[in-house]
Structure 1
Amino acid sequence: MNMSVVTIPVLSFLCLLCLVGHSQAQVNSEVAKDVDMNGLKPLLLTEIKRNIQAYFRRTHNDLIYEVRNFQITDFVPPRTYLTLRRRFPPTYEWIGFNAQVYGRFDWFYDYRTWWVQQSNRGLASVAITRIGFSVYITRERGFITAGYCTSRRPSVAIRSRDSGLNWLDFYVIQLLENEIETLLTGPDGVICSYVRGFIERQGRAVSDMIDDNFGGIDITGGGIDITGGGIDITGGGIDITGGGKDITRRRDDSDDEFDD
Structure 2
Amino acid sequence: MKFNIFPPEALKSIEPKFHVEPRAIAKTIERELQKKPLAGLYTLDGSARELPVSLLDIAQGLLVMKPEIKPEGGLTSLVGGQRLVVLCGDTGKMQFLANNLKLTEDGNLTCPLPTDLILIQRRKEFRTLGPGDEDLSFVLCLGAGQELLTKVIDISDHGILLDIRLGATEVEVGRYWHSGYFERLKSRSTTIDLVIKNVRPGAAMDRIRAGCELYEPNRMVLKEFESTRSAIENARVQGRLNRWYLGASWHE
**What TM-score, normalized by structure 2, do the two folds share?**
0.25
Higher-RCO chain (CA-CA 8 Å, sequence separation at least 6): 1
TM normalised by structure 1 equals: 0.24
Which has the larger share of helix? 1
Greater Cα radius of gyration, structure 1 or 2:
1
